[in-house]
């Protein structure tokens, strides 16, 4: 049977968990922000309307065969609002975060040229 609930251990590695353990961990990790892998704001031109955020989801979003999908990067605001990618490893999530930041930089540059 596939494990749905996951928590991060002290070393930041995902570990399967039962629903009660997951619930307690998720509440604490949301409050202390330890679920956040990386967050960057695009503050050029004095605006703070775009955020790139990568977090540990705590729930397996694979819903099929293969490794669990436990991390997610999203862009909120700006022309790429709603961009989303999910990953099976923290390393892939960090690389995906950097890629999303670069996509946002390019979109900002295109938007500036269009003005």
Query: What are the tens digits of pLDDT across the range 73-95?
Result: 999 998 899 999 999 999 999 99
Mode of pairing for the β-strands spanning 14-16 and 6-8? antiparallel
What's the Rg (C-alpha) of the chain?
A: 16
pLDDT band at 100 (very low <50, low <70, confident <90, very high): very high
pTM of the model: 0.89
The predicted pLDDT at position 40 comes to 93
Query: What are the tens digits of pLDDT across the range 8-41?
Result: 999 999 999 999 999 999 999 999 999 999 999 8
**Residue 79 corresponds to which tokens in the numbers above?**
């022309």
Please answer whether residues 108 and 78 qualify as being in contact, where contact means their C-beta atoms are separated by less than 8 angstroms. Answer: yes
| CA dist 105 → 63, 79, 97 (Å) | 32, 11, 12
């Amino acid at each position: 049977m596939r494990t749905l609930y996951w928590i991060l251990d002290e070393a930041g590695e995902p570990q399967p968990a039962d629903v009660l353990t997951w619930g307690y961990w998720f509440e604490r990790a949301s409050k202390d922000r330890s679920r956040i892998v990386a967050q960057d704001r695009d503050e050029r031109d004095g605006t703070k309307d775009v955020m790139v955020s990568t977090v540990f989801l705590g729930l397996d979003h694979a819903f099929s065969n293969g490794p669990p999908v436990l991390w997610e990067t999203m862009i909120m605001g700006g022309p790429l609002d709603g961009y989303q990618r999910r990953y099976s490893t923290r390393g892939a999530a960090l690389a995906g975060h950097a890629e999303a930041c670069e996509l946002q930089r390019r979109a900002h540059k295109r938007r500036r040229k269009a003005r």
